[in-house]
């Protein structure tokens, strides 16, 4: 079944329909604060609880940057190690999850730049089965059990991800944070130390780049 550009763009910009769980509830925030407090007092078990709570989300984000399960796992371990080493610098001005994803985004973008300079992504490609089984990422919402619709959704997901993989690091970062991970503009602005208006305009430019790339794929 052919996939139209409009369908793909709808999938890309569905920002968060099913991703609202990324923003922690008030009770989850309080739980994080308590665990952080215990960590700063020397409890490694408390930090292990934070790792267990956020590992899948951090791995998902890492995979979106590097596109390889082993690289994503290494990157996730690096992110948590950095968080542990810098935990005493966390002042609670933002949610712990926002602070953690700020570290993850910075490390992910840097790893992406490093791999790209070395030609890692050239002709690498990702098969559909690899993408589905290994990414652990969030699927574009599926509103039908129709097999053709399911297949189309997977095709859309891969096409969009391939287009995102070709973005420049700053554009890739903001598309991942907003359109895949579902963070709010305010949260992203905090993570990237940008004004909210700049965050929105950068995302708009990134989406336009993706749109042009998708046009080329479908032409």
pLDDT at 145: 53
Question: Region 2-30: what's the mean pLDDT?
Answer: 51
Q: Is residue 125 pLDDT above 50, yes or no?
A: yes
Question: Region 81-110: what's the mean pLDDT?
Answer: 91
pTM of the predicted protein model = 0.73
Indicate the helix (H) or strand (E) that contains 175: helix 169-175
Of 83, 64, 96, 81, nearest in space to 162 by CA: 64
CB atoms closer than 10 angstroms to residue 44 = 10
DSSP per-residue letters across 4-27 = -HHHHHHHHT-TTTTTGGGSPPHH
Of 70, 67, 76, nearest in space to 162 by CA: 67
Domains and CATH numbers, the chain: 5-218 (1.10.1740.10)
Question: Region 193-204: what's the mean pLDDT?
Answer: 92
pLDDT at 128: 43
Q: Is residue 43 pLDDT above 70, yes or no?
A: yes
Residue that wins the pLDDT comparison between 10 and 72: 72
Stretch among 52-56, 83-87, 146-150, 194-198 having the lowest mean pLDDT = 146-150
pLDDT at 61: 93
Q: How confident is the model at residue 56 (pLDDT cuts 50, 70, 90)?
A: very high
Q: Is residue 4 pLDDT above 60, yes or no?
A: no
pLDDT at 147: 58
Q: What is the mean pLDDT of the chain?
A: 79
């Amino acid at each position: 079944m052919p996939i139209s550009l409009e369908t793909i763009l709808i999938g890309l910009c569905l920002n968060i329909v099913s991703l609202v769980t990324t923003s922690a509830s008030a009770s989850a925030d309080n739980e994080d604060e308590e665990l952080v407090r215990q960590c700063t007092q020397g409890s490694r078990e408390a930090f292990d609880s934070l790792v267990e709570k956020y590992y899948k989300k951090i791995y998902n984000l890492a995979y979106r940057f590097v596109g390889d399960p082993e690289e994503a796992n290494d990157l996730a371990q690096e992110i948590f190690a950095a968080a542990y080493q810098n935990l005493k610098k966390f002042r609670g001005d933002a949610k712990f999850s926002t602070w953690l994803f700020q570290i993850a985004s910075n490390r992910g973008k840097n790893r992406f730049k490093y791999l790209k300079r070395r030609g890692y992504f050239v002709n690498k490609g990702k098969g559909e089965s690899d993408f589905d089984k290994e990414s652990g990422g969030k699927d574009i919402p599926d509103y039908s059990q129709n097999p053709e619709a399911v297949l189309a959704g997977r095709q859309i997901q891969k096409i969009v991800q391939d287009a995102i993989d070709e973005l420049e690091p700053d554009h890739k970062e903001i598309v991942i944070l907003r359109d895949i991970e579902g963070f709010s503009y305010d949260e992203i602005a905090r993570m990237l130390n940008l004004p909210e208006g700049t965050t929105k305009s950068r995302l708009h430019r990134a989406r336009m780049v993706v749109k042009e790339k998708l046009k080329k794929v479908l032409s």
